[in-house]
């Protein structure tokens, strides 16, 4: 996958998010849907809350929302169109990192890997599928994060 990294100039966490752009692009390229293009966007709390309410029926800003625009298979999309988007919101990312006692960068990367796994078809509706998804996430994260950080991300 090829990632297009985007953040509005006034959104909270933009500087930290942009510092991770190289890692985000590298992670995305390690997924199997090589020809697809995905947008990875840092957005504000109001926009995230609106997306969360509109598409998930949930209140407040989510940490991450993933949208697949290519009928379930991102690898079947055109080379020139965005086949999926991941939206992240900095304040919930910071809160999640604090709860897990990891740097915000590590938790941000975990969420991006999580969204990319969804785009590859992984789900977490059952205990078995959740274990498969976490194993795939850990495999990608162990390439870029210390083992103890990865372990804390999945406690």
Per the structure, the count of domains in the chain is: 1
Q: Whole-model pTM? A: 0.91
CA distance 14 to 47: 15
Q: What is the CATH number of the domain that holds 87?
A: 3.40.390.30
SS3 content of the chain, % helix, strand, coil (to 5): 50, 15, 30
The torsion of the CA quartet 61, 141, 101, 105, rounded to 10 degrees, works out to: -60
Which structural domain range is residue 106 located in? 2-153
In tens digits, what is the pLDDT along the chain, a chain of 155 residues? 889 999 988 999 999 999 999 999 999 998 876 678 999 999 999 999 999 999 999 999 999 999 998 865 555 555 567 889 999 999 999 999 999 999 999 999 999 999 999 999 999 889 999 999 999 999 999 999 999 999 999 98
Structure tokens, 145: 């994060």
């Amino acid at each position: 996958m090829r990632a297009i990294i985007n953040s509005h100039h006034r959104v909270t966490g933009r500087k930290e998010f942009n510092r991770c752009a190289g890692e985000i692009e590298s992670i995305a390229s390690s997924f199997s849907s090589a020809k697809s293009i995905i947008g990875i966007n840092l957005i504000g709390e109001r926009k995230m809350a609106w997306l969360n309410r509109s598409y998930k029926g949930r209140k407040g800003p989510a940490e991450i929302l993933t949208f697949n625009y290519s009928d379930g298979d991102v690898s079947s999309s055109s080379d020139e169109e965005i086949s999926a988007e991941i939206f992240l919101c900095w304040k919930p990312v910071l809160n999640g990192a604090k709860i897990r006692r990891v740097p915000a960068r590590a938790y941000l990367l975990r969420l991006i890997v999580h969204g990319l796994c969804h785009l590859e078809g992984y789900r977490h509706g059952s205990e078995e599928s959740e274990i498969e998804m976490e194993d795939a996430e850990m495999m990608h994260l162990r390439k870029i994060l210390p083992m103890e950080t990865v372990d804390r991300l999945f406690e």
